[in-house]
Amino acid sequence: MLGSPPEPPRPPLPAAPEVEPDPLDSTQVNGRRCGRGHLNDPRLGQCAFCGLPVEDGGGQLVAGPRPALGLLVFDDGTTYSVDAEYLVGRMPEGDSRVAGGALRSLAVEDPSGAVSRVHAEVRVSGWDVLLADAGSRNGTFVSGPGEPEWTQLPEGQTHRLVPGTRVRLGGRSFLFESPSGVR
């Protein structure tokens, strides 16, 4: 965390046996730990939280609670931590997946009226953040890092968000930021 005093290095954690995450528990993920015990995407060589090398652990992965995978930074400065899966739209709270607790409501206002009541889904799978259009009227568009143009997501297709990707819904947009995301 920014601003916190540096922690003294701790001795490395003992090698943990490989653990299969409970498939019913979507908050668990397989990864590798740094010397301070932060769980990381196994595709990274350095800890996304403290920069220490991520231990190879003899090639075995350990299961643990999934950390937040990044931030959705909206055009008005509002941010949402990707520590849950979201349903984005003008009135997502009316959807059964929000009422049932599968997705968290992320309501956006759009003066142009081009955002659908239920517009797009932000999902997580392992260490990846995925975007899909949720049957919106005007479509969901993405623009990868350094790409000048917008590309519409085909219906029913998920798109992995790499850090620096912009997403446009109607008259609104957000940027996906992640210190730990694999590009």
The residues of the shown chain that bind Zn ion, judged by CB under 5 A, are 34, 36, 38, 47, 49-50, 52
Instruction: For the beta carbon of residue 99, count every other beta carbon within 10 angstroms.
Output: 11
Residue sitting closest to Zn ion (CB): 47
Q: 135 to each of 29, 52, 110, how far by Cα in Å?
A: 29, 42, 17
Smallest distance from the beta carbon of 162 to Zn ion, in angstroms? 22
Q: 49 or 74: whose CB is closer to Zn ion?
A: 49
Smallest distance from the beta carbon of 145 to Zn ion, in angstroms? 25
What one-character-per-residue DSSP string does 14-56 give? PPPPP-PPPTT-TTEEEEEEBTT--EE-TT-SB-TTT-PBBP-
Spatial CB neighbours of 21, under 8 Å, sequence gap ≥ 6: 28, 29, 30, 63
Smallest distance from the beta carbon of 51 to Zn ion, in angstroms? 7
Q: 69 or 142: whose CB is closer to Zn ion?
A: 69
Q: 66 to each of 7, 38, 142, 179, 182, how far by Cα in Å?
A: 22, 10, 25, 15, 15
Q: 35 or 144: whose CB is closer to Zn ion?
A: 35
Smallest distance from the beta carbon of 6 to Zn ion, in angstroms? 12
Q: 21 or 31: whose CB is closer to Zn ion?
A: 31
CB 168 within 8 A of CB 140: yes
Q: 138 or 178: whose CB is closer to Zn ion?
A: 178
